[in-house]
Structure 1
Amino acid sequence: MRQVSLLGCGFVADLYLRSLQSMEGISVAVVHDRDPARLERFCAHWKLPRADTLEDFLAAVPKGSLVLNLTNPDAHYALNRACLEAGHHVYSEKPLAMDVDEAKALYALAEARGLLLASAPCSVLGEAAQTLGHALRHGVAGTPRVVYAELDDGFIPQAAHRKWLSETGAPWPYEDEFRVGCTLEHAGYYLAWLIAWFGSVRTVVAASAETIPDKTGAGAMAPDLSVATLFFESGVVARLTCSIVAPHDHSIRIVGDRGVLRCDAAWDNAAPVTFAKRLTLRRRLMETPFPRRVRLRGPTHPKVKRWGAAAMNFMLGPAEMLEALRDRRPCRLSAEFALHMTEVTLAIQNAGEHSGAQAMTTRCAPMEPMPWAM
């Protein structure tokens, strides 16, 4: 029996536990949250053992197992560090840290201790992302030239976000979401896919802005819009847009020499992947209006039913780490991958109006595909 321990049991923790129900052979060793009432309610609902203090939690985590850090982003660095210093492997909700230097310090600590360190999101291991990767490797669209990726969520400040509750009644942390920003919260959903396929980003040219003033909550608010052009060392160029302003659009289009690969739902592991071949009809250049669906042969991974806006198995990442530990092999969600994704995301988030071209200081290799997506 492989084990994980949960640090933080707010809104997202219920999504992990619901995903865990679909995975065989993984159990929860212990749970901790700084809110005693929240901790009691969560553990009672899921019938899980709890630790009332952080010190008790770190001591109760089984040796060689994995901590899932599901706390608020501003606590990620300190708690990731505490878990690593206690000798535990760590899977962190995004972002790994709120500062590049802090992320680099976590990377160095994990490397020095011989521990695994990874960061969400893990949808890059899901069927949709792996199907697109398979299509790219097999040249379905020809040589990829440019990628357009959208992560627009609609005019969220006007949504009924106060009524968004998790399975055990935890509220969606809207104030924290507005302060942290949609780029840090969501860019990774497609950025992880892009880095997995194309490797390191060499240069980021981005702009970000707060376009909706007076959002709910106290303190400074993060940009609610960012637009980035990413220059990959492999030669591919991608444009990534994140906002909580523009109408909902989670599409990604990969334009190749032969046509366009497309997926329209970043948060659905089973979202269809299509290919529209480019053709000339009566002197008009176009993509066929009847794209064909690209499919993988055979079974892929356990799926979860849609809950709210997502149909994602949040346990794919922790499961990959546990399997890598068991098999004594490199983990697909490596510390290099997490660090590079963090640096690129922060470069986009903090770009503002005048940052210009930013050279990335970290690197990582493309990700090994899942065995069922070869």
Structure 2
Amino acid sequence: MNRVKVGVIGCGMISGIYLKNCTQVFNHILEVAAVADLVPELASKRAEEFNIPAACTVEELLANPEIEIVLNLTAPIAHAPINLKALQAGKHVYTEKPFALNRNDAEEVLALAESKGLLVGCAPDTFLGAGLQTCIKLIKDGWIGTPYAANAVIMMGNAWSGTHPNFQNFLKLGGDPLMDMGPYYLTALVAMLGPVRRVTGSAQRLQEKVTVQNPRSPRFGDTVQVEAPTNVSATLDFHSGAIASLQAGKESFGYKPRLEIYGTEGNLSVPDPNFFGGPLSIPGVEGEIKIQFPNMEIKSVPLTHGYWEDSRGIGLADMAYAIRSGRKNRASGRLASHVLDISLGIFESSDSDRHVYIQSKVERPAPLPLGLKYNTLDL
């Protein structure tokens, strides 16, 4: 199978793990042909670091006829505009989350892609990792009976410590806890329980302005405006009948994630959806579970699939195989648009003091097959 050539737009911090995996883990299907950034020095540095043939401008990258997929790693505000430019240039596009900052932009991207017969993909792709794929199989095989409830907690360190070079982006819409970290949890919930039909939410900012607290930060002592909610609580009603509670905040010190699925016959403790592997358990029955899959002996709750390490980019690789085989990609634009719809619905519910019904439709993404060999996604 011929490799799919990729052009990367955005060479900031997140590009490092993408480029590492694209050139070392998924290089059986992906070939990075060029990188581009508004700061040319960043593109040149990444090209040298990962032995990429070209560091160029965005316009030059989009004009390259050999590039089939644009990997969009820009800031959230630029996601939709860059996605539209890539599609207009005849490229498939895979973007970092959030998919867009409003529904109109999201729908415009999806409509343009459909009109041109192009695929759109979007992070997060952690639901394709070993941890969540194992959970999906456990639920499907009935180990916890019928899932009826879930609890998701995303409590992160405060966003104004100044440790991230672009920390101010975490105080704006798109970098806020619901739009920044929420997609990992919401995508995982949709992958396990199906689409959401209704949300009820509360969102607030505890402070209008914050002061950078880290003396090592070049912005130490600076006061920055808080533009987005930093504390969010929501109830999600799924079409399946399950109900989930969600708490997301960036007002605490430390990182305290939790995701649990409650079923009529057991409860499933899910690995952190921000990662690809991690421990999982069904209290009381770990030693009894037997999962049938090729060439592995089961003694407790196992990880039934590959990709348990940091496999960021697996959704991009899956989309490349989809392009070659004509099937649907799993980390799709429709899935990301549904997650965006949920997030915006929570904000709207808080503003209007009412339930918000989710209008977007999406199919639960197909699970990865058992026995999938590491470094292959051609199924």
Structure 2 CA distance for partners of 1:147 and 1:373, relative to 1, 3 Å: farther
Kept in 2, the 8 Å contact 1:33–1:39? The answer is: yes
Structure 2 CA distance for partners of 1:371 and 1:182, relative to 1, 3 Å: same
Runs of 5+ consecutive residues of structure 2 not aligned to the other structure: 213-222, 286-298, 373-379
Once residues 250 and 220 of structure 1 are traced to their aligned partners in structure 2, the CA distance between those partners, rounded to angstroms, is: 23
Query: 1:307 maps to which residue?
Result: none
Query: Pairwise CA RMSD of aligned residues?
Result: 2.1
Once residues 274 and 356 of structure 1 are traced to their aligned partners in structure 2, the CA distance between those partners, rounded to angstroms, is: 36
Structure 2 residue matching 1:371: 3-state secondary structure: coil
Once residues 355 and 44 of structure 1 are traced to their aligned partners in structure 2, the CA distance between those partners, rounded to angstroms, is: 53
The alpha carbon displacement at 1:120 in A equals: 0.7
Runs of 5+ consecutive residues of structure 1 not aligned to the other structure: 165-170, 279-291, 305-311
Once residues 102 and 356 of structure 1 are traced to their aligned partners in structure 2, the CA distance between those partners, rounded to angstroms, is: 24
- What stretches of structure 1 move > 4 A for 4+ residues in a row? 216-220
Task: Say whether residues 1:15 and 2:25 are aligned partners.
Answer: no
The alpha carbon displacement at 1:46 in A equals: 2.1
Deviations 1:180-233 (A, max 9, x none): 312111111011111122222110111111124423575552111111111111
Alignment of 1:1-374 (within 5 A): 1-20=3-22, 21-25=24-28, 26-60=30-64, 62-63=66-67, 65-158=68-161, 161-162=162-163, 164=164, 171=165, 173-180=166-173, 181-215=176-210, 218=224, 220-246=226-252, 247-277=254-284, 293-297=300-304, 300-301=306-307, 303-304=308-309, 312-349=310-347, 351-372=349-370
Once residues 19 and 346 of structure 2 are traced to their aligned partners in structure 1, the CA distance between those partners, rounded to angstroms, is: 31
Q: Percent identity over the alignment?
A: 29
Structure 1 length-normalised TM: 0.85
Structure 2 length-normalised TM: 0.84
Structure 1 residue matching 2:335: 3-state secondary structure: helix
Once residues 225 and 313 of structure 1 are traced to their aligned partners in structure 2, the CA distance between those partners, rounded to angstroms, is: 29
Once residues 355 and 35 of structure 1 are traced to their aligned partners in structure 2, the CA distance between those partners, rounded to angstroms, is: 44
Kept in 1, the 8 Å contact 2:131–2:271? The answer is: no
Structure 1 residue matching 2:83: 3-state secondary structure: helix
Kept in 2, the 8 Å contact 1:117–1:334? The answer is: yes
Kept in 1, the 8 Å contact 2:127–2:273? The answer is: no
State the one-letter code of the partner of 1:111: E
Which stretch shifts more, 348-357 or 207-216?
A: 348-357
Structure 2 residue matching 1:197: 3-state secondary structure: helix
The alpha carbon displacement at 1:355 in A equals: 3.9
Once residues 273 and 65 of structure 2 are traced to their aligned partners in structure 1, the CA distance between those partners, rounded to angstroms, is: 33
The alpha carbon displacement at 1:4 in A equals: 1.6
Deviations 1:334-354 (A, max 9, x none): 332122112112223454454
Once residues 121 and 346 of structure 1 are traced to their aligned partners in structure 2, the CA distance between those partners, rounded to angstroms, is: 17
Kept in 2, the 8 Å contact 1:124–1:193? The answer is: yes
